[in-house]
Chains A and B, each alone.
Chain A
Amino acid sequence: MRSRLLLAIVALALLAAACGGDDDDAGDDTTTTTAAPETTAAAADLTKVALIIGTPINDLGWSQAGYEGAKALADAGEIELEVIEAGEFETSAVTRVLTPLLDEGFELILAHSFSYGDALTEIAPDHPDVGFAWAGGIAGTADNIADYDQPFYQAAYLAGILAAGVTETGILGGTAGFDIPVCHAQLEAFVAGAKEILPDAEGINIYVGSWIDAVATKEAALAAADQGADVFMSCGVPEGTFEAVRERDLGMFSYVVDQSSLAPEQTIGSMIWDLSVTFGKMVDDIEGGTFMPGKFYQDGVTDDALRIDLNPDYAGEISAEALAKYEEVLAAIKDGSFEVPFDGGL
């Protein structure tokens, strides 16, 4: 019987350790990153903003883009920022993380994931004075819920033009976790952009079926490479893709943030999502009392929320024709004379 008791204790301890690991995560992160200027006289006047992200702030992707955008505002002294790494995407868990914040006087809650939409819908009506925003990209707004778009396809079109100035096969490769409109449009625009220079350009786009399976992603990219793709772009699964690109010494564009550290010699450029633009507009709206009813913020290339940063070490390898076309189309997008076609699939 004694061993039974012992085992029960061990099992409980393990269970606690397993669950405790998660709690530690959340607890830690709640307190780690307060990026606000600590005590300035104006602190009291600054808009109090909380950013909720599902993965670490240094995920070299989606969450990092959100963090860098919000941090830029905090560093500029415009907001008082708290970053909460929820480590979760389930609605009930996110609700649990969000609820305590609402007693702390936050004026704007940035829920930086599509998956957080349901949690906001649950919570927001009970807190009409707080502004909420989520990365829906589907105009999913309510009285105090704003939505912000991710028009990656606009920058991907520009990347496609540059890719056409690099590719030897005329075949571009694209990887994404799932076939969702944001990704579908991005990868299709990448090929469409290449056709500005190479009318016969083809795209091999593969949907891996997972956002986390880097091995499957690498294999997907290798499959595309085996069939001739030599310049890549990824929507949401860049790491495995970069690994394949590095192994085969091909070319690639970063996704959302500068990921050139993953393959310094193979990175042609980076599609940068500068969320300080959109978050800044929201903060202005909160301060000006115009946040409600919630808007659908659609900031793209025109607003400098999306841009392509070229890798200086790679610039010499892009054809002059492609670089000229890139500048031309960029200017046309900005002055409104050209609109990048959106193909979200279905």
Chain B
Amino acid sequence: MDWGAIFSGAGIIALLNAGIRLAMPTALAAVGETFCERSGVLNLSLEGMLLAGAFTSFMGGYYSGNLWVGVLAGIGGGLAIGILMALLSVTFKTAQVINGIVLVLFATGLTAFTYNSVFGVTTTPPRFDSMRPLEIPWLSSIPGVGPVLFEQSILVYLSVVVIVAVSWLLFRTRYGLTVRAAGEKPTAVDAAGVNVDRVRWVATLVAGAMAGFGGAVLIVGQLGFFRDSITAGRGWVAIALVIFGRWTPLRVFGGALLFGMTDALQLRIQAAGGGIQSGVPFEFFQALPYLVTIGVVIVATARSRDDAMPTALGETFEKESKTKAE
């Protein structure tokens, strides 16, 4: 097989570019989920948030003709599912796992139904031109890193900014401390006079907005059209990546990049003729990103002694005084 095609200078640049494109929507969702889980809410509706964001970003971009309206609409779509999730899980205190799964089903059905109702029978599926990569002047001409880091869609740069900002918020601010405390020991947060439910509401909305943005990156930044279940399980991968990254935003981001890179690599290995002609079943290549990720998780968990999972993850918080009143 022709490894040269993949690992030549131009090949590596193309590979890294593809890896970043594949990683970004999942990375956004995963980092948002990290923030949310840190507050104690196990948000399994992530796939629904991504899908809703993908759908609304398509509708926004298609009808306005403005890609930025599409991006905002995508964030709004993810937020809408986030509101439902917070309402059920935080305000009504129902089982978070069930709420999440119900909302994924809800978003899957609603987006497919609405898309079919709006566009009906047409043999020309609606589409728009997705955002073109933006070459940052001067920086993009740096040999090697230039074309990889500085020739992406502007949404990719924004994603990195958002991810770094969320990480900073979670670990470098007082508010972040409160969020983490709400996930570790909500009673202590409550005793300090902070409204645990409000913190969890905000954290769930952060997950919704970021996943919605991820859906917009997928549609506005890459495809320009919508299909049923277009997110194809990226939300579930993102939830796994949170565990992989041990609830630390930047590690989760790293995991998403690793996953995206391996995915891009396996497509290129197939393309280089090593896939089908070599007699190795193509399923092996498709499993590669998962195998690598699982491998790293095993190594990472074996080496670290601390239990990174938020102690109160998935538990609803009931104020003690309220319980007594009942």
Contacts and interface: CB of A to CB of B under 8 A. Distances in A.
Given A213-B232, A226-B14, A218 B264 contact: no
A144 B28 CA distance: 52
B12 to A, nearest CB: 11
B123 A210 contact: no
Contacts of B326: 1
Contacts of B99: 11
A14 B103 CA distance: 8
A216 interface: yes
Contacts of B98: 11
Interface residues of A, number: 55
B140 interface: no
Interface stretch (B143-151, B154-162, B272-280): B272-280
Contact of A212 (B229, B263, B282): B229
Interface stretch (B33-41, B107-115, B186-194, B304-312): B107-115
A298 interface: no
B138 interface: no
Nearest to A3: B92
A6 B110 contact: no
A209 interface: yes
Interface in A205-237: 205-210, 212-216, 218-220, 222-224, 226-227, 229
Interface stretch (B60-68, B167-175, B220-228, B293-301): B220-228
A58 B227 CA distance: 12
B124 A261 contact: yes
Interface string B259-276: 000011001101111011
Given A10-B92, A205-B276, A25 B116 contact: yes
A226 B11 contact: yes
Nearest to B272: A227
Contact of A206 (B106, B122, B271): B271
Contacts of B21: 219
Nearest to B264: A219
A21 B22 contact: no
Contacts, number: 161
B222 A223 contact: no
Contacts of B10: 226
A35 to B, nearest CB: 11
Given A8-B94, A58-B122, A214-B223, A14 B102 contact: yes
A247 B98 CA distance: 41
Report whether over half of chain A's contact residues are helix, strand or loop; otherwise say mixed.
helix
A18 B122 contact: no
B9 to A, nearest CB: 12
Interface in A5-50: 6-8, 10-11, 14-15, 17-22, 24-25
A226 B264 CA distance: 12
Contacts of A222: 14, 18
A25 B112 contact: yes
B23 to A, nearest CB: 11
A186 B113 CA distance: 33
B92 A7 contact: yes
Contacts of B264: 219, 223
A224 B276 CA distance: 14
B93 interface: yes
A21 B125 contact: no
Contacts of B92: 3-4, 6-7, 10-11
Contact of B87 (A10, A19, A207, A218): A10
Nearest to A222: B18
A147 interface: no
B86 to A, nearest CB: 12
A223 B94 contact: no
A24 B273 contact: no
A15 B22 contact: no
Nearest to B89: A7
A262 interface: yes
B97 interface: no
B5 interface: yes
Contacts of A227: 2, 5, 11, 268, 271-272
B230 interface: yes
Contacts of B121: 56-58
A224 B109 CA distance: 34
B11 to A, nearest CB: 7
Contacts of B125: 58, 60, 239, 261-262
13 contacts: A7-B92, A10-B87, A11-B98, A14-B84, A15-B105, A55-B228, A204-B272, A216-B232, A216-B263, A218-B222, A223-B14, A227-B2, A239-B125
Given A25-B116, A206-B275, A216-B232, 20 more contacts: A1-B326, A4-B92, A7-B91, A8-B94, A15-B102, A18-B108, A22-B109, A24-B113, A57-B121, A58-B121, A58-B122, A60-B125, A202-B273, A208-B267, A214-B230, A219-B264, A223-B14, A223-B268, A224-B271, A261-B125
